[in-house]
Amino acid sequence: MMSWVTSACVGFARACAVVVVVMLVPAVWAAAVALGIWWGAANPWSWVAPLVLVCVGTLALSRPVCRMVRFLVAKWTATEIPAGYRQAPPVVRMSTGYWWNGFSYERTRRDALLDQRRRTRWSDPANWRDLRFTAIAPVTAGLASAVPPAAVTAAVLGFGRPELHMRLAGVLGAVVAIATAPYAWRSVRPVAVRFLRPSTAMALADRVDELTAQRADTTVAQAAEIRRIERDLHDGAQARLVGLGLSLATAEKLMATDPEQARALMREARLGATASLAELRELVRGINPPVLNERGLVDAVRAFALDSPLEVTVDADVRLRLDPPIESAVYFGVAELVTNAVKHARATRGRISLTRDAAALVVDVEDDGRGGAFAQDGGGLAGLRRRLAVFDGTLEITSPDGGPTRVRMMVPCESL
C-alpha cells in the first residue's frame, strides 16, 4: 500500500512537471490570443503584436523546452537522447589579425564568436525538429500527463460543493488521479525518443566528425608509439650491441698477444648479449605481450596483476576470448589504470573484473587510493577514452576525493 502511495505521489509530481514544460509554448499562444482579443475592438492592427509574440516566443522557447524534456527523460528513465545540435568550429586568429569563425572574418574574437553563434543557431536543421516537437508534445504527452492534475482539480472542486453529484464527481476525480498518476507521465519518453532524436543526416554527419577525430588520434598515437620504440632501441639494445661489437673486435686483436684479456672481453660481450636479448624481449613484451597472443586477455591480465606492486585480485571468465585488437586495447588500458593507481593514487590494493554484458565487454578497475582522478585534456585517461572510442567503447570514472577510484571500460564486442 505504501509503495503504491509513494508511486502515485512521485508520478503526480512528474506529470505536473511534464505538463508545465511541454505546455510553455501553448501558453504563449494562449496569451497571444488573449492579447489579440483584448486589443481587437480598439485597434485594427491588434493582430500584429500577438503574431510577433507567437513567433518570438515559440522560437525562443523551443530549444529550452526540448533540452528540459531530454533532461527529465534521462533522469527518470535513464534514456539518453542525443541533442544533435550543430557544433560550431573553433575560432582561429589569422596572420592578418582578423578572426575566422568558419563563416566570416571579424576584427575581434568577441565579434567572431557572436557572429558564429548567431549563424550556427539559425542555420541548424535541428530547429525544425524542435519546433515540430513543441507542436506535437502538448497534444500527446501533454494531454496524457494532464490527466492526474485535472482529476485532482476536479476532486477539489467536487469536495468543495455540498451537492451529492458534485461529491460523487470529486470521488471519481480522486480515483482517476490516484489510478493514473504512476503512469501518465511515462508517455513523455516514447514521444521524446520518437521526435527528438537527431535526423539520419545529422547522425551521419556527427559520426563522420567522430571518425575523423578518432583517425587523427590514432595517427598521433601510432607516431608516438613508433618514437618510443625507436628511443628504446637507440638508448638500450642498440647501444649494447655497438658495445658488443667493439668488445669482439678488441678481443680479436688481443687473441694472439693477450689471450687472457681477450677471454675477459668475450665474457663481457656474452653478458652484454644476454642483457641486449632481455631488453629486446622486454620491448617486444611492451608492444604485444606473448601471453596475450598465446593465452588471451584474461591470462594476460592475471600475469600483469602478479607482476604489479599492488595486491590485485582478478575476477574474470576464463572462457572469454575476443578479437585481438580489442584484447590489446583492453589489456593496455588495464595496465595504464593499475600503473596510475600505483604512481598517483598511492593505492595498496586493487581489483580487476572482466565480465560480459549482453554484447559488450565490461572491465572494472578499482583501487583504494586517494581518489580525485579525472580525464583532463592531454592526460592518460583522456587518451585511453579516445583509444576505446575507436571500438565504440566508453570510459566511466568514479573517483571522489579520498577514494576509492573505480573506472569502467565498456567495449561492444562478440566473444569468440
- State yes or no: pLDDT of 410 exceeds 80: yes
Q: pLDDT tier at 369 (50, 70, 90 boundaries)?
A: confident
- State yes or no: pLDDT of 202 exceeds 80: no
- 354: enclosing H helix or E strand: strand 349-357
Residue 393: its pLDDT value, please? 80
63-to-67, 68, 120, 129, 237 alpha-carbon distances in Å: 6, 9, 14, 10, 61
- 381: enclosing H helix or E strand: helix 380-389
Cα(332)–Cα(298) distance, integer angstroms: 12
Residue 68: its pLDDT value, please? 92
Which residues have C-beta within 8 Å of that of residue 237, sequence separation ≥ 6? 276, 279, 280, 283
DSSP 412: E
DSSP 358: T
Residue 9: its pLDDT value, please? 82
Cα(113)–Cα(110) distance, integer angstroms: 5
- 313: enclosing H helix or E strand: strand 311-316
DSSP 345: S
Q: What is the DSSP string of 227-255?
A: HHHHHHIIIIIHHHHHHHHHHHHHHHHHT
- State yes or no: pLDDT of 211 exceeds 80: no
Q: Give per-residue pLDDT as tens, 30-76.
A: 887 777 777 665 566 666 767 777 788 888 888 889 899 999 988 88
Residue 241: its pLDDT value, please? 66
C-alpha cell at 181: 498518476
Q: Where are the domains of the chain?
A: 2-82+124-198, 87-121, 201-287, 290-412
The mean pLDDT value for 254-272 works out to 71
Residue 288: its pLDDT value, please? 63
Q: Give per-residue pLDDT as tens, 6-22.
A: 777 888 888 888 888 88
Residue 216: its pLDDT value, please? 57
The correct answer on CATH 1.20.5 for the domain covering 201-287 is: yes
Q: Using a pLDDT cut of 90, give the percent of the chain over it.
A: 0
Q: Give per-residue pLDDT as tens, 302-337.
A: 887 887 777 888 888 766 777 777 777 788 888 888
Mutual angle of helices 188-196 and 48-77, in 10-degree steps: 110
Residue predicted with more confidence, 164 or 76: 76
The mean pLDDT value for 358-383 works out to 76
The closest of 50, 53, 56 to 36, measured between CA atoms, is 50
For the chain, the distance separating the N- and C-terminal CA atoms, rounded to the nearest angstrom, is: 49
CB 371 within 8 Å of CB 405: yes
The mean pLDDT value for 103-114 works out to 82
Residue keyed to cell 667493439: 246
- CATH T-level topology, domain 290-412: Heat Shock Protein 90 (3.30.565)
